[in-house]
Structure 1
């Protein structure tokens, strides 16, 4: 059964970096998957009244914001289409719209119809971060978060962040398409961050993967004085990992995300693609 992947891109107030299109197509190509590119354009309601028209010219500003968002969306879809044609990836595309407060929710809702969601990541742009977090925690689908400033390359060394938790187990299951195509699988357990179920959890996971025909090596690391997210990412990069797989821990209350330590650390300084499941 062919995998269905989705690239979800907000276009307001700023879109992710220019590499999100080529990276998403490259991932779909590696997975022999189809790709649906969905841009979420802003739809700011008209607030026309005499005062806003005379003093602030709000109606015109709203029209300009909506038009600029649509223009960015069309340009991005054209870029994805050109890249998909070059790589011979089957592509569908769509333009969605949402009010500013509901862009992330619209992206997450759309992502539920696919096997894998992909989102771009740009540091210090809150709207992009909020959309990515909403997709991770509300879509019900694994989400691949793509850095915006470099090519993802071949995702052939998969690094699993493993603590034996429910969300980590969900992430490993969701990562199966990547694991089956990987040349190297590393299982990393941080031993000094919290109490673990038992000492050999990494070896147990490696044995389980071996029973499924996947060879993996387990190792333990210490976070020391570093944040756990930074320790995981640093180690993954040190061993030339090309994809980090981890569970996303957090919840939403009144649309404000409260993230677990590893999740927050990874999202604050994303330096390689991360497959996150919740």
Structure 2
């Protein structure tokens, strides 16, 4: 059965970076997946009345903003189509629209129809953050968060952040397409951040993966003075990791996401692709 992957491209207030399409196509090609590129254009409610129209010309400003959003979306879809054609990846395209505060929810609802959901990530892009958090915590599907500052090559060395939790187990299961194609699998457990179920949880996961035909090596690290999200990424990069797999801690309260320490640390300073599941 062919994997169905999606790429979500919010266009307001800022569009994704220029590498969004090429990176998503590269991942889809590695996984032999069909890719759906979905732009999310802004739909601003009509707030016009006689006074606002007379003083501020709000209806005209709204039309201008929505037109700019649609134009950015059209350009993003054209770039995705060109890259997919170049790399011989099957691509479908769609245009969604949502109010500014609901763009993440629109992405999460559509994400439920796919096996893997990708989001281009920039720490200064509020739309990207909203979309990523909503997919991770509201869609029920795994989110692959791609840093926009670099070209994504082959995601061959998979590094699993393992603490024995439910969300970590979910992430490992969701990472199976990458594990099946991995050149190396490393399991890293942080021992000085919180109480763990036991001292050998990394080795137990390695044994379980081995029984399924995946060779994995387990190590333990300490954060020292670094935040856990930074420590995990630094270790992954130190050992040549190209993909970090982890569970996403957090919950949503009226569309404001309250994130766990590791999740917040990853999203505040993303240094490599991260597959996050909740």
TM-score higher than 0.5 = yes
Stretches of structure 1 lacking an aligned partner (at least 5 in a row): none
Number of residues paired by the alignment? 278
Which aligned pairs between 1:169-248 and structure 2 lie closer than 5 A?
169-248=169-248
CA–CA distance in 2 between the matches of 1:58 and 1:200? Answer: 61
SS at match of 1:246: strand
Taking the aligned partners of 1:18 and 1:33, their CA distance within structure 2 comes to 22
Answer yes or no: is 1:153 the counterpart of 2:153.
Answer: yes
Say if 2:38 is the partner of 1:29: no
What's the CA shift string for 1:38-66, capped at 9, x where partnerless? 00000112222221112111111100000
SS of 1:137's partner is helix
Are the aligned partners of 2:53 and 2:59 in contact in 1 as well (CA < 8 Å)? yes
Computed over aligned residues only, the root mean square deviation of the Cα atoms, in angstroms, reads: 0.7
Distance between the aligned counterparts of 2:124 and 2:8, measured in 1? 19
Give 1:101 deviation, angstroms. 1.1
Say which SS state the counterpart of residue 48 (structure 2) adopts. coil
Q: How far off its partner does 1:19 sit?
A: 0.3
Matched, 1:73 2:73: yes
Match of 1:133 in 2: 133
Please state whether the residue corresponding to 2:65 is helix, strand or coil: helix
Q: Give SS of 1:124's match.
A: coil
1:130 Cα deviation from its structure 2 partner: 1.3
| 1:263 counterpart SS class | helix
**TM-score if structure 1 supplies the norm length?**
0.99
Q: 1:127 deviation in Å?
A: 2.3
Q: TM-score, normalised by structure 2?
A: 0.99
Distance apart, 1:136 and its partner CA:
0.8
SS at match of 1:102: helix
In structure 2, distance between residues paired with 1:124 and 1:19 = 16
- Structure 1: how far apart are the matches of 2:17 and 2:122? 7
In structure 2, the gaps of 5 or more residues are none
Distance in 2, Cα, partners of 1:251 & 1:73:
29
After the TM superposition, list the runs of 4 or more consecutive aligned residues in structure 1 that deviate by more than 6 angstroms: none
